[in-house]
């Protein structure tokens, strides 16, 4: 599709959660280049403002940076107060965090934030904006899954469960909303070089991707597929869960995760 087709199909505004860094920022850059207006959400307003200033002067688009903590119980009300009049044609449910530690040693506050940010926020955003898109008969929604969402993953149990939540939501809605003209995609990266590793104290593993590559694949696949995994090695890893007996798959994940150092990690644990 050329830029005009993107604007006609997914305009006026693309709303991106977690746009101050990493994959969300890469989405913002690529969608700005397509001429879509943007609503950028994150907690660090100064970062959003810098991105907004750079991209709006480069591409002559309207950008609204919104400082918002998506784990707040009333985040939808706060968001709608700021953007209610704007037409959202594309929703990117990108903001997410991880947690690495045996579950019973994990800080419950971190786990609560993880579930709210990774599962509840995309559900509420999608219900609201998905309904408006369906009424208009067009639009797009991308959910960030992960290759670990294809496996029950020991030591990141809550994170991998939150990612299968996103994959299943996207795939089910690809069917449900697809009938009403709304494109939905599950985008699953493997290790990608972002702030995620520092924030969540998780290793990116081998063969790390760039956020730009991941966002590019998402935009290329939207409207064509229900689900996509980034990187040939991640595709093979995801495929294992279809061919291996379930217990083997879980044991393999447990082995790999302990190799990538849950024992060294203390950030998400209560001592
Ligand atoms: N990086 C990887 O290896 C990898 C692999 C597979 C899947 N993913 C998925 O890809 C998505 C993006 O991850 P990333 O790697 O780009 O992470 P990142 O660099 O850590 O960026 C996360 C973004 O989410 C925002 N955010 C975090 N908590 C928030 C909150 N409570 N409210 C609002 N915004 C919040 C952050 O901004 P503020 O701090 O300013 O709020 C930031 O913009 C996530 O869903 C992640 O699970 C990542």
Q: 118-129: per-residue pLDDT in tens?
A: 999 999 999 999
**From 163, 168, 220, 255, the catalytic residue:** 163
Which of residues 268 and 70 earns the better pLDDT score?
70
- For 209-229, what is the mean pLDDT? 98
**The pLDDT value given to residue 262:** 56
* Nearest ligand 1 atom to alpha carbon 70: 32
The domain spanning residue 213 has which CATH number? Answer: 3.40.50.720
- For 242-261, what is the mean pLDDT? 88
Q: 79 in a domain, yes or no?
A: yes
Q: Beta strand pairing status for 182-188 and 139-144?
A: parallel
Confidence of residue 203 (pLDDT cuts 50, 70, 90): confident
Ligand 1 pocket mutation pick from 45, 46, 52, 95 by most atoms within 8 angstroms of CB: 95
Q: 270 in a domain, yes or no?
A: no
**The pLDDT value given to residue 271:** 43
Residues 125-153: pLDDT tens digits? 999 999 999 999 999 999 999 999 999 99
- For 81-99, what is the mean pLDDT? 96
Taking the model in full, what pTM does it have?
0.96
**The pLDDT value given to residue 205:** 78
Q: 269 in a domain, yes or no?
A: no
- For 213-238, what is the mean pLDDT? 97
The span from the CA of 106 to the CA of 158, in Å, is 10
**From 59, 150, 155, 159, the catalytic residue:** 159
The domain containing residue 220 runs over which residues?
3-259
Ligand 1 pocket mutation pick from 49, 162, 194, 237 by most atoms within 8 angstroms of CB: 194
Confidence of residue 156 (pLDDT cuts 50, 70, 90): very high
Q: 93 in a domain, yes or no?
A: yes
Q: How many domains does the chain have?
A: 1
Residue identifier of the C-alpha nearest atom 17 of ligand 1: 196
Is 175 catalytic? The answer is no
**pLDDT above 50 for 255:** yes
Confidence of residue 261 (pLDDT cuts 50, 70, 90): low
* Nearest ligand 1 atom to alpha carbon 98: 47
Confidence of residue 204 (pLDDT cuts 50, 70, 90): confident
User: Over the chain, what is the mean pLDDT?
Assistant: 94
Which own/partner pairs from 105-111 qualify as long-range (CB within 8 Å, at least 24 positions apart)? 105/269, 105/270, 106/158, 106/268, 106/269, 106/270, 107/268, 107/269, 107/270, 108/270, 110/268, 111/158
């Amino acid at each position: 599709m050329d830029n005009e087709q993107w604007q006609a199909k997914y305009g006026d505004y693309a709303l991106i959660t977690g746009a101050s860094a990493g994959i969300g920022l890469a989405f913002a850059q690529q969608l700005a280049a397509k001429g879509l207006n943007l609503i950028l959400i994150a907690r660090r307003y100064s970062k959003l403002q810098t991105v907004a200033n750079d991209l709006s002067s480069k591409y002559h688009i309207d950008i609204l940076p919104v400082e918002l903590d998506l784990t707040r119980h009333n985040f939808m009300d706060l968001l709608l107060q700021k953007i209610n009049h704007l037409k959202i044609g594309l929703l990117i449910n990108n903001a997410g965090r991880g947690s690495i530690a045996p579950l019973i040693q994990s800080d419950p506050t971190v786990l609560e934030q993880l579930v709210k940010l990774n599962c509840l926020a995309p559900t509420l955003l999608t219900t609201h904006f998905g309904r408006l898109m369906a009424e208009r008969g067009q639009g797009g929604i991308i959910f960030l899954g992960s290759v670990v969402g294809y496996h029950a993953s020991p030591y990141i149990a809550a994170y991998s469960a939150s990612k299968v939540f996103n994959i299943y939501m996207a795939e089910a809605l690809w069917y449900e909303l697809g009938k009403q003209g709304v494109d939905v995609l599950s985008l699953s990266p493997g290790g990608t070089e972002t702030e995620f590793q520092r924030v969540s104290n998780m290793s990116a593993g081998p063969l790390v991707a760039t956020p730009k590559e991941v966002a590019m694949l998402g935009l290329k696949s939207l409207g064509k597929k229900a689900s996509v995994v980034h990187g040939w090695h991640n595709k093979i890893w995801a495929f294992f869960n279809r061919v291996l007996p379930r217990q083997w798959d879980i044991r393999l994940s447990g082995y790999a995760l302990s190799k990538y150092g849950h024992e060294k990690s203390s950030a998400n644990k209560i001592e």
